[in-house]
Amino acid sequence: MSVANLKEWNHLQTDLIFPEQKITFNSLQGSRESIERQKESTGKTVTVKSTAYTAYCEGCSGVTKTGVNLRQNPDEKVIAVDPNVIPLGSKVYVEGYGYATAADIGGAIDGNEIDIFFPEEQKALNWGVQFVKVSIIK
């Protein structure tokens, strides 16, 4: 496992890790081939319309449907989903974003749509609207 992978999976800007900081370790360890094998083994990949959000939008509490406090845990990788398409609690791989947890629902999320959490508003704005593939890992 490389430092670069750890930084990517956890949205870290530096190599520093602090006490009690939650770090995600990914068992795939990098190669596109192993990522593709993992995606295929789940059996479900969907193409979705994706938008992005932050924990500080107007009317947002910063707490997801499953109880993740994104203001206290800004490094969490979370997406909002329609639970009829992607069950809440699912671990997913989102093309262009990485590994995340389906931990939220959105008022405007219906069908094959997701909303991707970014801790900084500019990153959410930069994401815009994209059609991406989401593979359900578990």
Q: How far apart are CA 8 and CA 2, in angstroms?
A: 10
CB 113 within 8 A of CB 50: yes
Please, what's the largest Cα pairwise distance for the chain? 42
Q: What pLDDT does residue 131 have? A: 96
Q: What pLDDT does residue 4 have? A: 76
Residue 85's contacts (CB-CB under 8 Å, 6 or more residues apart) are 46, 48, 111, 112
Q: How far apart are CA 50 and CA 114, in angstroms?
A: 5
Averaged in consecutive runs of 10 residues, what is the pLDDT profile of the chain (138 residues)? 73 73 61 48 80 87 92 94 93 93 90 95 94 91
Domains of the chain with CATH codes: 3-136 (2.40.40.10)
CB 109 within 8 A of CB 82: yes
Q: What pLDDT does residue 40 have? A: 46
- DSSP reduced 3-state for 52: strand
Query: Of all helices (H) and strands (E), which one includes residue 78?
Result: strand 78-81
Q: How many helices (H) and strands (E) does the chain have?
A: 3, 6
